[in-house]
Amino acid sequence: MRKLLVAGMSLVTVFGLVACNDKGSSVGGKEDDKLKIGISLPSATHGWMGALIDSAEKQAKELKESDGIEYVMTNATDPNKQANDVDDLIAQDVDVIVMLPIESAALTPVGQKIKDAGIPLVIVDRELENDAATVVVKGDNEGIGVNAGKYFVEKLNGKGKVVEITGPPSSVTEQRGSGFKEAMEAAVGIDVIASQSGDFSTEKSLEVMQNILQAHPHIDAVFTQDDGMALGVLQAIKEAGRKDIKFITGAGGGKAVFDNMKEDGLITATFLYSPTMVADAVKIAAEIAQGNEPEENMIVKEATQVTKDNVEEYYNPDSKF
């Protein structure tokens, strides 16, 4: 049964207080050798994913120093590379694997391979299409879509022409998109005139939005499923000199988006989806490796709405994202 756990809640509630004494019979423990966590993530140097990778490595290093738990981190640019990375982690006989799938469907058989190897799996962000995961740690993707949809209905008074910029094929994209559509069903006056993928990329979203602007002479607002994509859309609108678009929304809680809000920019709302969720996933993996059984199999971070009215509560000038 899913339970909603907000960001910042202690991970004590995730696990039982009593660990298995016999690691040979525990979820991920081994009788000999040092415990080792395998971490399989997409590749990125900046943005949300870049911050997530930094957070994962920082947490893994802390666990190595405090508990002596080793880790192996891999980064992939495509699903095939990620599948090969996971094969290597399985061959290294890691105790637990933390994985953020590049694509949900493509990595689902990989998740099953991990399960068949008897290795516990902690999934971050994008869910698989089977039950291979031992624990899933994610943000409230459907909540992001629902909250964004309600925001659009309110700001547009139930009517207008809207563009949607989505992510790549994944549970994140599907859930954010379906939540958005669900919230706008009652607003028959709102028409989604274009919906295209920006691949969670600022550069790709800039290119996609440039084409959409050329095809549609009037647009009232743009819903993007990611803050990085919102920045790409913003740049395209500025370069085109368009004045018809009233606002853009994002998702994530990036510093550049917060800056735009503070300056009364075109991005007027975003919905929190912190990259630090991966730190929780790494901690959970360490607990499993040490023999603790997780009490919950689904950890969901709250999709808090951030606008100019409350942006100062969440703004961190030192944030990498």
Task: Return the structure tokens found at 278.
Answer: 């991966």
Asked if residues 28 and 96 have their Cβ atoms less than 8 Å apart, the reply is yes
Task: Return the structure tokens found at 190.
Answer: 């709102």
The torsion of the CA quartet 136, 183, 147, 270, rounded to 10 degrees, works out to: 100
Query: What gap in Å lies between CA 108 and CA 296, rounded to an integer?
Result: 21
* 257, pLDDT greater than 70: yes
In which order are the strands placed within the sheet that holds 135-139?
Answer: 3-4, 298-301, 135-139, 121-124, 96-99, 36-42, 70-76
Say what percent of the chain tops pLDDT 90.
83
Query: What gap in Å lies between CA 13 and CA 16, rounded to an integer?
Result: 7
Name the pLDDT band for 134 (thresholds 50, 70, 90).
very high
Name the pLDDT band for 190 (thresholds 50, 70, 90).
very high
Task: Return the structure tokens found at 82.
Answer: 């990620």
**pTM, full prediction:** 0.79
* 256, pLDDT greater than 70: yes
Query: What gap in Å lies between CA 75 and CA 47, rounded to an integer?
Result: 15
Q: Give the CA angle between residues 194, 196, 200 to the nearest 5°.
A: 140
Domains with residue ranges and CATH for the chain: 3-139+275-301 (3.40.50.2300), 141-273+310-314 (3.40.50.2300)
Name the pLDDT band for 91 (thresholds 50, 70, 90).
very high
Mean pLDDT in the chain?
A: 90
Asked if residues 42 and 75 have their Cβ atoms less than 8 Å apart, the reply is yes
Query: What gap in Å lies between CA 8 and CA 144, rounded to an integer?
Result: 18
* 25, pLDDT greater than 70: no
